[in-house]
Amino acid sequence: MEFSAKQISEYLKGNIIGNPDVKVSGFSAIENGEEGTLSFLSNPKYSHFIYDTNASIVLVNKDFEPEKEVKPTLIQVDSAYEALAMLLGWVEQMKPKKNGISPQAFISPTAKIGINVYIAPFVYVGEGAEIGNYVSIDANSYIGENAKVGENTELHAGVKVEKECVIGKNCILHAGAVVGSDGFGFAPTPDGSYRKIPQVGNVIIEDNVEIGANTTIDRATLGSTIIRQGVKLDNLVQIAHNVEVKKNTVIASQSGVAGSSTIGENCVLAGQVGIAGHIEIADRCVFGAQTGVPNSVKEPKSVMQGYPAVPVNIFRRASVVYKNLPELQRIVYELQKAYDAEKEK
């Protein structure tokens, strides 16, 4: 597919600087842009690449002012990064979707399958399962008995949706994601061993959720583990049993949420954040990378880092002190020696 700068500008409601008739058929990063592709400039530290890039069109923020002449046609928009996301979504929607059910897939006679569904080879759809309209399920995926997958949802290769679990509309589950595996429930016994506690709940994933590759969401012991609408989970995230992640929260890779905790709306968990069990996090909280959260955070819009989690301004001051500890220790030793010498006198 080819698009002209004029077509792209009209779709994004942007302003053109340069040739409105130049056409592109692909995308590229600005630092290695190629002719016939579109790129974008959002982060100012990449600004110098715009003067050497071979990309034919570059999306830029409206406040960008070139210091010298640029070769590509520029399209000014409010946010280049957001405009790129819109454009990629537009192009993706225009691509023809796969359709049809492979004869190599197994579908239970009691399963309900919607219209215009794509089911790849080696997919298993269990008894009583429901697959909505326009769903796409890639190879080697598993849909357990009585599970439900809402319309327009995409399950990539090797996704597992265990029995009784519910996936909403317009969701994307990337390769290897597991929804509804048993929660980590074991009861200690007098002899020191552990007895497994059956996990009889399920997982409910609401609409417009995206789940990264190899992320796992455990079923509840009783009731439901719930991922609310608009949540985005990165690759390699662990959500334990009976957790609730409220709407529009984002969680980055290698983070984990322990059992029965609640994460508020519009929160941000950076990479390797750990949330302890049975606690509550208020709305719009932000946790920096590798933060450990052992207690509830009740103040909305808190920004925290470190272990145990403290307000980020305290963490930064403490980090400066930590770096100076060897020198501070030397000074203390010298003061101790001087004190001891003075005491002997």
Distance CA 332, CA 224 (A): 55
226: helix, strand or coil: strand
The contacts of residue 61 (CB under 8 Å, 6+ apart) are 41, 42, 76, 77, 78, 79, 80
| Crossing angle (nearest 10°) for helices 5-12 and 80-94 | 110
Residue 147 · residue 164 · CB < 8 Å: yes
Q: How far is CA 113 from the centre of its chain?
A: 29
What is residue 4's DSSP assignment?
A: E
Of 240, 232, 324, 245, the C-alpha closest to 276 is 240
Q: Which of 48, 156, 174, 241 is catalytic?
A: 241
Burial class (CB in 10 A: 0-12, 13-18, 19+), 105: middle
Are the C-beta atoms of residues 165 and 204 closer than 8 Å to each other?
yes
Environment class of residue 43 by beta-carbon count within 10 Å: exposed (0-12), middle (13-18) or buried (19+)?
A: exposed
- Rounded to whole angstroms, the Cα distance separating 207 from 231 reads 9
Among this protein's residues, is 174 annotated catalytic?
no
* Distance (Å, whole) CA 261 – CA 257: 7
Catalytic positions: 241
